[in-house]
Amino acid sequence: MSTAAAAGTWKLGDLEVNRVGYGAMRLTGNGMMGNSDGTPIDRDVAVRLLHSAFEQGVNHIDTAAFYFSPLRSANELINRALLSWPDGVVVVTKVGPGRDPSGEWFTMARPDQLRGQVEENLRQLGRDHLDVVNLRRNGLDMASIAEHFGALAELREAGLIRHLGLSNVHPEHVAEAQAIAPVVCVQNSYSVDWRRADESGMVGLCREQGIAFVSYFAVSGLRREAAAAQERHTRVHTVARAHGTTPAQVRLAWTLHRGPHMLAIPGTTNPVHLAENIAAGALRLTEEELALLDEPGETDA
């Protein structure tokens, strides 16, 4: 059985992780855009799934305090799983957006509110400090991140946070943040179908600066956290058939092939899909296959 180590490792600051991680959002039964909402799995089943991920070499978990549904909290489930697991799992959370207890979204947190969000993550995860905290930029209404990132840098100096990262940002935001404190990762949407991070130069910028680029929605294509219902073209299927793998595995392998600094955090509640996602780290695509996947083609509407 392949383990997450097959894809190689990268460092988030001084924390070395396998490049195939796990995104915890789906454990709650709640999707950020509403197109993956469903009944959450049983708590004990969720903990066993997380333990299975750890057993298969996953040591990088992505979460957030705002990953919750009426019945489940991703942070609570991770806390439970880690209580009976040895040290060595790096938990990466994010702050900026927020939701009230009923699930309604707040506007972007003010810089002075970020400490409360960090402390909320600490309480839910049962930790004295957070391994990595990403500042999640809230779209077009946030041109500058300096004040927010500066507030997190102060919490890092105070010992509440070990390392800082960014999410949903552009290259100019990385430069802005790097002038304040080191950035260890950038977490943006990126996939075979969704390559804005190539167009903006973000993937190359992270490579040059030794920053991990953490791809989310790497499997789902243009429909975000919903499963890809229709492929952009037949090329992904062609490559999958050649290797006897699934299209999702090809998508993950393509992402990892974009550079040694590329990480992926696919999420699932299905143990079979979990094993497949992890095994994708061992899938080696040929230059011809990569060229085929990179050819221009029609995208889904």
What is the set of active-site residues?
A: 67
Per the listing, tokens 């990088």 go with: 60
Copy the structure tokens of residue 42: 């049983």
Token code pair at residue 88: 């060595």
Are 160 and 133 contacting, i.e. CB atoms less than 8 angstroms apart? no
Give me Rg for the CA atoms of the chain: 18
The DSSP bridge pattern shows strands 22-23 and 60-62 to be parallel
Three-state SS letters, the chain: CCCHHHHCEEEECCEEEECECEECHHHHCCCCCCCCCCCCCCHHHHHHHHHHHHHCCCCEEECCCCCECCCCEHHHHHHHHHHCCCCCCEEEEEECCCECCCCCECCCCCHHHHHHHHHHHHHHHCCCCEEEEEEECCHHHCCCCHHHHHHHHHHHHCCCEEEEEEECCCHHHHHHHHCCCCEEEEEEECCCCCCHHHHCCHHHHHHHHCCEEEEECCCCHHHCCCCCCCCCCCHHHHHHHHHCCCHHHHHHHHHHCCCCCEEECCCCCCHHHHHHHHHHHHCCCCHHHHHHHHCCCCCCC
List residues bridging with 73 in a β-sheet: 68
